[in-house]
Structure 1
């Protein structure tokens, strides 16, 4: 009996680790589900055509309506003020939140950016919508999102796409300029989001 438990312990440990690493789950998307892509120029699709933006590509990949609610140049405080009206108009089942990049470019207070993102998540949840959070890299030699994105995802139990945008913006072949993807970059972002959504709605 003792030998059995000694043999089982590593397996149980692996199962516990796998459970901890599993992304939080979303509700299965209804056939008529609306997905809201909310953010700034990264969502709007600067650097590509409208049909090449990530929301347009994601719509084709998922077979669900994806509304592009990206406003170029918007900071998180402005996004927070805009969000209630957009939620009321679109009534989405799922929201993809990509915001904060313009706060970093303008060197705004990081804690205020985190608070604004948390308030956006709260509004989405109050509206009955699920949320997928995407990490936005801060400018610098090594592109990576600030730690508060991961903290927000963990605290709110959100599926989180952490490094995809950083990887895209670190590859000159996937960029239209220093801060925006090109059509190929948006395709990669859409594909990663489609995979995450499918994995978390099984």
Structure 2
């Protein structure tokens, strides 16, 4: 498999959406894993705008012929500050609306565990490994990864 990381650290959903057409044309992927929105929330940008952008990213990726897996990102809240993270509800809404698979609770469960974080909002190596294992599980469950 050829894996292309089209993400850019610090990007918002608007920036990712702007780069998407070129990435789709250049790489013609069979699968696009969409995990964006955290920087929108951290910068306190509109959740409605982030939802619109993420919906468009998923729609355009699917229109290119790729299968799409959406990855939920935690919601910023007072409970999150106390270590009780939950996925932002917009991810489940988009997945249901577009009838695409969702990798739920991946980041929420990893980032809720201090031993898996390098700081309050980023995983450490062990956290990334646990997230990747969960992602593989979701890919298998949805039939996007067959062994």
Matched, 1:170 2:112: yes
- Greater gyration radius: 1
Matched, 1:78 2:20: no
Hey, what's the Cα distance between the residues in 1 that align with 2:111 and 2:59? Answer: 29
In the TM superposition, what is the alpha-carbon distance from 1:65 to its structure 2 partner?
Answer: 2.4
Partner residue, 2:96: 154
* Unpaired stretches in structure 2, ≥5 consecutive residues: none
Hey, what's the Cα distance between the residues in 2 that align with 1:167 and 1:98? Answer: 15
SS in 2 for 1:128: coil
Q: TM-score scaled by structure 1?
A: 0.66
Do the aligned partners of 2:35 and 2:71 also contact (CA within 8 Å) in 1?
yes
SS in 1 for 2:3: strand
Hey, what's the Cα distance between the residues in 2 that align with 1:176 and 1:88? Answer: 35
Matched, 1:67 2:4: yes
Which of 106, 119, 133 is 1:191 aligned to?
133
Which one has more relative contact order, counting CA pairs under 8 Å at least 6 apart?
1
Hey, what's the Cα distance between the residues in 2 that align with 1:65 and 1:172? Answer: 33
Hey, what's the Cα distance between the residues in 2 that align with 1:163 and 1:108? Answer: 22
What are the equivalent positions in structure 2 for 1:10-159 lying under 5 Å apart? 64-140=1-77, 141=79, 142-159=84-101
Q: TM-score scaled by structure 2?
A: 0.90
* Unpaired stretches in structure 1, ≥5 consecutive residues: 1-63
Superposed CA offset, 1:122-163 (max 9, x none): 110110000001110022223112211101011111111111
In the TM superposition, what is the alpha-carbon distance from 1:195 to its structure 2 partner?
Answer: 1.3
Partner residue, 1:182: 124
Runs of 4+ in 1 over 4 A off after TM superposition: none
- Which structure is higher in strand share? 1
